[in-house]
């Protein structure tokens, strides 16, 4: 049995990534400091608000595909963010009501609103763990996770818009490996990640504005993001700008260039 990390109080005096993202998504769970930081970045990166929505839309398409086509029934979503309907478990359980979902985030505000993530279908189950991705073993051994997921069966590990907050110095690649290693064949890694490949100047200015106010991070190239998938089978269409990942023909295609969006998405299977 492991102890949970101490939960710090919610600090509204400085911006937090979960609340800044909530602001871009037109959510209501953010404060003045978050709005100021979010607007500062949005002035430099006008595509960021639509980009946040397209990032959520990728999460929905990937989750639907995993539940409907790949038959996945267990999901571990790290860096969940403040609940935003539909949440991942609602998407998975709309396809397969017996889906089990564990959410994890290290921001106390996400914990505060986590009740909205626990509205499971009767056949399925959801749980929330206040956890830091930099402590993967603690998360994998937490009682909430162990009571919800069977790690002997495939799990879709989603790290959506999370890994650009983890620098190489903090061991980003090793952390992903330590999360994937205990999962069996047939598990999946789902991720999105900001990139400067299409507009290096824009993303340099975005990084400066974001990292000087919100949190540290690292923008990565296609090759660097693809390294997270090493040893896995990357599904078609590969690592692409997120609205290009298996677009839903029944939905209108967004009016945004790759440079304006600048977020890669990919899904890979553990052989």
Ligand X SMILES: C[S@@+](CC[C@H](N)C(=O)[O-])C[C@H]1O[C@@H](n2cnc3c(N)ncnc32)[C@H](O)[C@@H]1O
Q: In this chain, which residue has its C-beta nearest to ligand X?
A: 81
Task: Measure CA 112 to chain center.
Answer: 18
User: Which residues are CB-contacts of 210 (< 8 A; sequence separation ≥ 6)?
Assistant: 37, 41, 217
Helix (H) or strand (E) holding 125: strand 125-130
# chain residues binding ligand X, by CB under 6 A: 21
Binding mask 96-135 toward ligand X (x if CB under 6 A, else -) reads: ---------xxx--x---------------------xxx-
Binding mask 162-201 toward ligand X (x if CB under 6 A, else -) reads: x--x------------------------------------
Give the shortest CB-113-to-ligand X separation in angstroms: 11
Judged by CB under 6 A, the chain residues 37 through 76 that form the site for ligand X are 55-56, 59
Give the shortest CB-21-to-ligand X separation in angstroms: 4
Give the shortest CB-49-to-ligand X separation in angstroms: 13
Among 27, 47, 51, 81, contact with ligand X (rule: CB under 6 A): 81
Compute the distance between CA of residue 165 and CA of residue 181 in angstroms, rounded to an integer.
21
Q: Is 87 in the site for ligand X (CB under 6 A)?
A: no
Among 92, 129, 161, 163, contact with ligand X (rule: CB under 6 A): 161
Compute the distance between CA of residue 140 and CA of residue 247 in angstroms, rounded to an integer.
32
Decide the pairing of beta strands 156-160 and 240-241: unpaired
Q: What DSSP assignment string belongs to 139-171?
A: HHH-HHHHHH--TTS--EEEEETTGGGS-TTTT
Q: Yes or no: say if 178 and 147 are a contact pair by the CB < 8 Å rule.
A: no
Binding site for ligand X (CB under 6 A): 17-18, 21, 55-56, 59, 78-81, 105-107, 110, 132-134, 160-162, 165
């Amino acid at each position: 049995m492991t102890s949970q990390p101490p939960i710090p109080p919610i600090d509204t005096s400085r911006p937090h990534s979960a609340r800044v993202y909530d602001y871009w998504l037109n959510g209501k769970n953010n404060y003045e400091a978050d709005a100021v930081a979010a607007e500062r970045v949005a002035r430099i990166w006008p595509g960021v608000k639509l980009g946040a929505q397209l990032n959520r839309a990728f999460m929905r398409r990937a989750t639907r595909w995993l539940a409907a086509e790949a038959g996945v029934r267990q999901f571990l979503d790290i860096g969940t963010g403040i609940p935003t309907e539909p949440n991942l478990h609602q998407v998975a359980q709309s396809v397969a009501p017996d889906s089990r979902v564990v959410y994890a985030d290290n921001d106390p505000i996400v914990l505060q609103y986590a009740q909205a993530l626990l509205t499971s279908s009767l056949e399925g189950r959801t749980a929330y763990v206040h956890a830091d991705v930099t402590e993967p073993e603690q998360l994998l051994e937490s009682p909430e996770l162990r009571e919800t997921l069977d790690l002997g069966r495939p799990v879709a590990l989603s790290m959506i818009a999370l890994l650009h907050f983890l620098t190489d110095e903090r061991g980003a690649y090793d952390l992903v490996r330590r999360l994937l290693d205990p999962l069996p064949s047939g598990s999946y890694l789902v991720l999105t990640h900001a990139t400067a490949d299409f507009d290096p100047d824009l993303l340099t200015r975005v990084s400066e504005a974001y990292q000087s106010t919100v949190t540290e991070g690292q923008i990565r190239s296609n090759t660097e993001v693809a390294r997270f998938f090493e040893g896995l089978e990357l599904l078609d269409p590969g690592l692409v700008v997120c609205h290009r990942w298996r677009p839903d023909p029944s939905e209108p295609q967004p009016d945004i260039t790759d440079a304006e969006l600048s977020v890669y998405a990919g899904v890979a299977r553990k052989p």
